[in-house]
Amino acid sequence: MTNTVWMFPGPSSHVAGALAQLTEPGTAGAKVLDTVDAVAAEYGWAPVSPLLLGPADETTAQHAGHLWLGFFATSLVLSELLVEAGVPGDTLVGHSGGEVSAMVVAGCMTVEDASRVLCERTKVVDESGLPPSTMVALNAPVFRVSLLCEAVADGTLAVSVDNGPDQVVVSGLLPAVDRLEALASALEIKTHRLKIPSAYHNLILGGAARRLTDRIRHIPVSAPQRRVWSPQLGREMVTADDARELLAGTLVLPVRYREALRALYDDGARLFVECGARQVLTELVPQSLPAPAQAVAILTGRAQARLVPQLIKTLSAEHGAGWQTGSLLTVEARVPMTATPAPVHPATPRAPTPVPRAEPVRAPVPVPAPAAGKTAPATSGGLPSEAELRDQVRNAYAQALRFPAEMVEDDTELEGELGISSLQRTNVFVQLLNAFELPNPDESVQIFKYRTVAEVAGLLRELAAVR
């Protein structure tokens, strides 16, 4: 079984209306949303569930608190679906505020208490009296960004997040960040101002961090029941004291996510599943790790929500059952697990040629159109001719494998002969569904059982016939 990591993103990793198709009344996911809404009401915040359940889109107005509770609720709803499907999670790793989500899934805190931690975290920053501050991402390695901060010579600047070889986030007071951006521009380094209303992961929030520790002292915290790696602590979280240490430093400790990914990979992790909307963390895996690592974004956007059950089904089928069935709301119902996962012996790669870097499972992209000068004759169901349809299927899989299209024949076993995994095949199939605007297959259809170009083309035509 592949050593699997669940990744929990932080602020901005939720999408308006994305959970409407994934949360039925009375389900564990719905109860998570109810719990988060109840805590939001305690703090005078609007409920987050109307935003996440819709009808809503990217233009829908959001309450300030949704930045902090939206990503949290989304991650927990997706985690419930993964738990129910038995998808393994050998190690949990959060990014910034996502470490709170990881702690809930690991059994350190209840959903209710963790929601209060996030609300208090926001309140102490708002009450800090800090002058206007912000965060900015720079497309440069951390050593170079550190030199730029030194050149600006402003003590409020700090390297807050090291995401990858060319993605670093700096926080500080606005005048200092403005000067940093000007210097980066002069050196032709791209920058992007984040929509985060303060300088998180910076020592200038030391006073706020102390107030947070004081306010959440009464909240019960337990040792994790699953293995948790903390990018802010820079090590595995094993005890309840470790969890307390993380919460005490969550506003000031830097996020060393690149180092965390590398440590997990060196420990045998090969599959990284993002438990959040968009693909914020999925994109970081191929930037930092070699080709054997694979990243999966479960929910890339509102339009892709209907495909989430199929993707999770494929994850479960390919990677086996790892969780005991149970809800995150009843952590005590699960059997406590050891902190260290069982040893994993990576399978021998079957692909004929190596791939230079890890390939993330990205948002669906259009399937290549017919070559110039060719016209794809339409047939029943709005699909092209059989030959052209198979060519497009062939090209999609060849592109995923980085193989020449002529290597993928109609009857070639995609997995047995070319080494493509069931998960990769499902991802390509999702791309094809979107390209041809076809309905999602019935739950009884197991996509990974369609092993050749001809079989996949046949399934597409069946779906088109009932569209």
* One-character DSSP codes across 43-69: TTPPPSHHHHHSS--TTS---TTHHHH
CATH tag, 133-197: 3.30.70.250
Residue 373 CB neighbour total at 10 angstroms: 5
Per the CB < 8 A criterion, the answer to whether 53 and 29 are in contact is no
Containing H/E element for 33?
A: helix 28-42
Per the CB < 8 A criterion, the answer to whether 305 and 75 are in contact is no
* CATH fold of 364-465: 1.10.1200
Task: Give the integer Cα–Cα distance in Å for 12 and 95.
Answer: 12
Residue 389 CB neighbour total at 10 angstroms: 24
Residue 74 in 3-state DSSP? helix
Domain with CATH 3.40.366.10 in the chain: 3-127+204-333
Instruction: Give the CA distances from residue 111 to residues 8, 29, 65, 328, in Å, rounded to whole numbers and listed in that order.
Output: 15, 11, 16, 8
Residue 88 CB neighbour total at 10 angstroms: 22
Task: Give the integer Cα–Cα distance in Å for 198 and 219.
Answer: 25
* Per-residue tens of pLDDT for the chain, all 467 residues: 459 999 999 998 898 888 998 998 889 999 999 999 999 999 999 999 999 998 766 666 677 788 889 999 999 999 999 999 888 899 999 999 999 999 999 999 999 999 999 999 999 999 999 999 999 999 999 999 999 999 999 999 999 999 999 999 999 999 999 999 999 999 999 999 998 989 999 999 999 999 999 999 999 999 999 999 999 999 999 999 999 999 999 999 999 999 999 999 999 999 999 999 988 899 999 999 998 898 988 888 887 788 888 888 888 887 765 555 455 655 443 333 333 333 333 333 333 333 334 444 433 333 444 433 333 444 456 789 999 999 999 888 887 766 677 778 888 777 656 666 666 777 788 778 878 888 777 767 777 678 788 888 898 988 888 76
Task: Give the integer Cα–Cα distance in Å for 256 and 230.
Answer: 9
Spatial CB neighbours of 89, under 8 Å, sequence gap ≥ 6: 4, 5, 6, 82, 105, 226, 273, 322, 323
Per the CB < 8 A criterion, the answer to whether 16 and 302 are in contact is yes
- Written as six digits, the tokens of 414 are 């995609």
φ, ψ of residue 316 to 5 degrees: the values are: -65, -45
Domain with CATH 3.30.70.250 in the chain: 133-197
Spatial CB neighbours of 149, under 8 Å, sequence gap ≥ 6: 157, 158, 159, 170, 180
Task: Characterize the bridge pairing of strands 91-94 and 3-8.
Answer: parallel
How many residues does the structure list for the chain?
467
What is the assigned CATH class of domain 3-127+204-333?
A: alpha beta
- Alpha helices, DSSP H, located in 282-375: 284-288, 308-319
Task: Give the integer Cα–Cα distance in Å for 191 and 199.
Answer: 16
- What are the residues facing 236 on neighbouring strands? 229
Spatial CB neighbours of 288, under 8 Å, sequence gap ≥ 6: 164, 165, 258, 261, 262
Q: Is the dihedral of CA 178, 180, 185, 186 positive or negative?
A: positive
φ, ψ of residue 405 to 5 degrees: the values are: -60, -30
Task: Give the integer Cα–Cα distance in Å for 340 and 229.
Answer: 11
Per the CB < 8 A criterion, the answer to whether 9 and 95 are in contact is yes
Element counts in the chain: helices (H) and strands (E) = 15, 11
Domain with CATH 1.10.1200.10 in the chain: 364-465
Per the CB < 8 A criterion, the answer to whether 111 and 59 are in contact is no
Task: Characterize the bridge pairing of strands 227-230 and 91-94.
Answer: parallel
Residue 271 in 3-state DSSP? strand
